[in-house]
């Protein structure tokens, strides 16, 4: 697999600098780069580590010393495109593996791929181009959209739906019961509240390994179009997540919370139940949201509050030791004067 610099520049909508017929055979890190490599420059400080015979992709200023490559406005976006071009795709064989168990009422498109030891329950459907790798359980009435990829070990409970072009990584569980219980009281044990809703995964969603998304108590838990969910994330019952949100590792969204479009949840952050987070908001790492946030908020800490206010409070807190020492000195001076 190789591309000329001029071909890549057209794909990236950038400007080719140097010989357009020079062939690029791989994407490399600065440390591993050699002739035939291309390196994406996200930080100009790495230029010193890149041999001059190696092509680069970066902003215009990266080429001030006469290097060869492609000038682009957004190097990070260009990196995503280039990596997609050179990514090795897993081999897919259409059809149903002999070891798979497919209920007689289930529908599998002739262009879908059902891998070893998969189970398709009554009324399940798998659309054209969808791939179930191996040992995937698909419950009753579950639908899987076109060109979606379900990696090994995924469990999708009954009554859930997966849209088109969805990528679900290994050991994800979709549609387990939401955590709905009435606490015990004297003379009565804990009472479980039946969970009769489902989970609706919209188009172009990605769900990271070992994530759990619970079914709704009544109605569906919804993951909006284009949202990307990292590994080890818990999404509770009846949560509604909007379009193009980003949820990083170990985030937790409690039941019936709402994340509007383009919300970013950093690692280990969380949202309390029945809370609404406005569109384009960012919750910093380990932040805990306990009240509704307006659109465009940037919050941190627990309970989460305006990030700048939190930084000021942290700065004041860090000075407590010095202030304590000053007060003690003043007390001594006052005591000596008296």
Closest alpha carbon to 202 in 175, 176, 164? 164
How, if at all, do strands 252-253 and 95-96 pair?
unpaired
Higher pLDDT, 260 or 303: 260
pLDDT in tens, 97-120: 999 999 999 999 999 999 999 999
Tell whether 50 is covered by a domain: yes
**pLDDT at residue 27, as a whole number:** 94
From 65, 86, 107, the end of a domain falls on: 86
From 86, 113, 139, the end of a domain falls on: 86
How, if at all, do strands 199-201 and 161-162 pair?
parallel
Report how many domains make up the chain. 2
Tell whether 22 is covered by a domain: yes
Tell whether 44 is covered by a domain: yes
Domain CATH for 54: 3.40.1390.10
Q: What is the DSSP letter of 88?
A: P
Higher pLDDT, 272 or 309: 272
Tell whether 202 is covered by a domain: no
From 86, 102, 124, the end of a domain falls on: 86
Closest alpha carbon to 2 in 24, 33, 20, 34? 24
Tell whether 25 is covered by a domain: yes
C-alpha distances out from residue 129 to 92, 120, 301, Å = 10, 16, 44
Confidence of residue 44 (pLDDT cuts 50, 70, 90): confident
Average pLDDT in the chain: 94
Tell whether 42 is covered by a domain: yes
Q: Can you tell me the distance from the alpha carbon of 147 to that of 167, in angstroms, rounded to the nearest whole number?
A: 9
| pLDDT (mean) for 17-43 | 91
**pLDDT at residue 153, as a whole number:** 98
Closest alpha carbon to 207 in 236, 179, 237, 227? 227
- pTM value > 0.75: yes
Residue 327's domain spans which residues? 314-338
pLDDT at 322 over 90: no
pLDDT at 65 over 90: no
Confidence of residue 269 (pLDDT cuts 50, 70, 90): very high
Name the catalytic one among 103, 181, 232, 237: 237
**pLDDT at residue 8, as a whole number:** 94
Percent of the chain at pLDDT > 70 equals 100
Q: What's the residue count for the chain?
A: 338
Q: Can you tell me the distance from the alpha carbon of 189 to that of 178, in angstroms, rounded to the nearest whole number?
A: 19
Confidence of residue 132 (pLDDT cuts 50, 70, 90): very high
β-partners of residue 240 are: 222, 258
Confidence of residue 321 (pLDDT cuts 50, 70, 90): confident
Structure tokens at 231: 């590994």
- Is 237 an annotated catalytic residue? yes
pLDDT in tens, 80-94: 999 999 988 877 888
Tell whether 172 is covered by a domain: no
**φ, ψ at 298 (rounded to 5°):** -130, 110
**pLDDT at residue 75, as a whole number:** 94
Tell whether 76 is covered by a domain: yes
Name every residue whose Cβ is closer than 8 Å to that of residue 153 and which is 6 or more positions away in sequence: 134, 135, 136, 170, 171
Peptide bond into 303 cis (omega under 30): yes
């Amino acid at each position: 697999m190789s591309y000329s610099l001029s071909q890549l520049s057209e794909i990236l909508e950038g400007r080719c600098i140097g010989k357009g017929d020079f062939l690029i055979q791989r994407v490399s890190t600065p440390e591993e780069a050699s002739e035939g490599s291309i390196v994406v420059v996200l930080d100009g400080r790495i230029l010193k580590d890149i041999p001059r015979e190696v092509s680069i992709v970066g902003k215009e200023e990266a080429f001030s010393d006469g290097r060869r490559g492609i000038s682009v406005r957004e190097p990070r976006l260009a990196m995503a495109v280039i990596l997609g071009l050179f990514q090795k795709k897993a081999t897919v064989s259409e059809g149903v593996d002999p070891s798979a168990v497919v209920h007689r009422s289930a529908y599998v498109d002739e262009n879908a791929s059902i891998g070893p030891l998969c189970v398709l329950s009554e009324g399940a459907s798998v659309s054209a181009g969808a791939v179930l790798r191996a040992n995937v359980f698909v419950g009753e009435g579950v639908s899987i959209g076109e060109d979606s990829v379900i990696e090994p070990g995924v469990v999708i409970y009954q009554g859930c739906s997966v849209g088109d072009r969805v990528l679900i990584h290994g050991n994800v569980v979709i549609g387990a019961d939401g955590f709905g219980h009435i606490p015990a009281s004297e003379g009565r044990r804990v009472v479980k509240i039946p969970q009769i809703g489902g989970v609706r995964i919209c188009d172009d969603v990605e769900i990271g390994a070992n994530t759990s998304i619970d079914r709704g108590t009544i109605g569906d838990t919804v993951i909006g179009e284009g949202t990307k969910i990292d590994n080890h994330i818990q999404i509770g019952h009846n949560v509604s997540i909007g379009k193009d949100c980003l949820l990083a590792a170990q985030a937790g969204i409690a039941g019936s919370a709402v994340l509007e479009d383009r919300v970013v949840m950093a690692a280990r952050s969380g949202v309390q139940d029945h809370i609404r987070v406005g569109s384009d908001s960012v919750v910093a790492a380990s932040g805990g949201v306990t009240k509704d946030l307006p659109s465009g908020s940037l919050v941190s800490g627990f309970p989460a509050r305006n990030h700048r206010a939190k930084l000021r409070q942290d700065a004041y807190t860090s000075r407590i030791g010095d202030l304590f020492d000053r007060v003690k000195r003043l007390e001594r001076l006052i005591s000596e004067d008296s």
